[in-house]
A and B are shown apart, each in its own frame.
Chain A
Amino acid sequence: MIRIANGQGFWGDWLEAPVRLIEQGPIDYLILDYLAEVTMSILQKQKAADPKLGYARDFPPLMARIAKLQKERNVKVIANAGGVNPVACAEEVRRVAPALKVAIVLGDDVFGRIDDFLGDGLAMRNMDTGAPLITIRDRILSANAYIGAFPLAEALATGADVVIAGRCTDTALALAPMIHRYGWKPDDWNLLAAGTIAGHIVECGAQCTGGNCQVDWQSIPDLANVGYPIIEAEPDGVFSITKHPGTGGRVTVDTIKEQLLYELGDPKNYITPDCTADFTTIHLVDAGPDRVRVTGIQGGPRTESLKLSISYSYGWKAIGTLVYTAPQALEKARAADQIVRRRLLQLGLAFDEIYTEFFGVNACHGPVAVPVDDPPEIQLRIGVRGQEKKPIDRFTRELIPLVLNGPPTATGFGEGRPPVREVVAFWPALIPRDRIQTTVEVVE
């Protein structure tokens, strides 16, 4: 049995989690997921400004913090912290933690190959809209292929203490050590599906150990010290999910079911670079305190395509807010919204969208929200989005004047006018698998 712990569900997750995982009990592998779809574009910009950047900058300090214990306990770290610059990430880890042997996985970054692909007749159509990539060619900010677990397993085989990848799938981080240790083959579909589903369960960190859990949430113990998830994986594809004894949170069939359903599409056809996994074959059993055993998982062949994660510059947006109080808080906020819209119209400003929410009434649940009668306070929240920056900037000056020249009792303007933010959009597309070749390098 091997123990694979996930200490980071996204870049910005709890900094203490990975440290506690390594300090508070036995683990063999520590996996860390840093990349969201839009993160790649931010990293690509950082790299353009400074060729030494473009990776998850929280990662090297973490390695410095845990290096000693990691060596003592022979824990291997697998992280997609490399972003668009795994080489620079590895060099920084080596600089701050020289005792660690580092391997990197390269080949996912296709930012420089897009024109070659287009020239070869690959349309890379948007999987949601069907539009060909050529329509946004000059606005592309980053382009990466999602790679699977086998290149990561190859990197583990070098004996590295730390494996750094770029855009691998979240589930590959968990599956890779199983492939490495148990010698699973590229067509062991049921085993690969089991490891993939184990990865799906832990990929959001504490969201399977009591975080964001709706079942009897008030009784979930000590979320302040919540334990992050650990997979206990066996060679035959059976695994358990647990957490270190004495940590907060809860692992039950209910907490695992909730996470299994998270961001799920067609449950019979969960596609990764490694296999397709069938979520309707999962069998869960409570196997003791904070322990769930998972059996029965079946899978099928991998697809002939890999998914590309492309980001491009879409335009600009800004969201402004004001607070109105009772009596008639909602009526005041509605009136203010109408005034803003009329003023924008009179200025002749065009937007792709103007969207208003009344926070405290219906912002999150819209027409499904519980009706409220004259709430004590409401936040008016108006957002605009468009291709040109100038109208968005002008909009940001239209809210604060309402404090003096609109409906009564407006406040909450202390932050000043809202920032104008660049909108980087995501373009999902497919590419034939044989166009992506990965390599592994050891950084000495």
Chain B
Amino acid sequence: MIDLRGVSRTVMSGTAPLTILHPLDLFVAAGQSLAITGPSGSGKSTLLGLIAGLDTPSSGRVAIDGVDITQLDEDRLARLRGEKIGFVFQFFHLIPSLTALENVLVPMEIAGRADAASRAASLIEEVGLTGRGHHYPSQLSGGEQQRVAIARALANDPPILLADEPTGNLDSANGAHVMGLLLDVNRARRTTLVLVTHDVGLASRLHTQLALKDGRPDPERSRLATAEPR
């Protein structure tokens, strides 16, 4: 499902190049879940961004469902994300000028789904926000905003769900609620889940773990499945 070969990322820090992710191979099979852990600045979010095609690797290739996304232009990448990848951010990133329901509607409208309205309503219900759909993000609590973000990520029923520290900005009760939702999705819908987190306890609830340190895998703390035979 997700297949990374020799993927690295180097950025310019001032005038000197800085490698934030060293060449890395990674495979996540369909329906599996992976936790990426590590301290701040270890390259977790960078790796997640590369998987989502939000960023371009400096070397290597990223394949999603057999498609090499490093060869796609911005618009085709956007279409691929719309169809195959749902994304949940630490800071929610809802569009402030749209209501909760409209935020959920957007990916389906882009994809041109006819059942967008009814599906958005049922997703809002599914994440426990019945009756709050017409509120603007500024009128919702952090936990509620993150649940809207999850509903939005699930809108097009994507086979992959990526989450960047989804509980990092929430209190423990809300965090647990959000985590429960994500794990449910992985189990019930067989959605591949890749999650970035600081929380080792949380990470242990997923099928596999990749620990990063200074942009490199830390084999001692990682617990990975065997790569798919090639």
Q: Do A and B come from one complex?
A: no
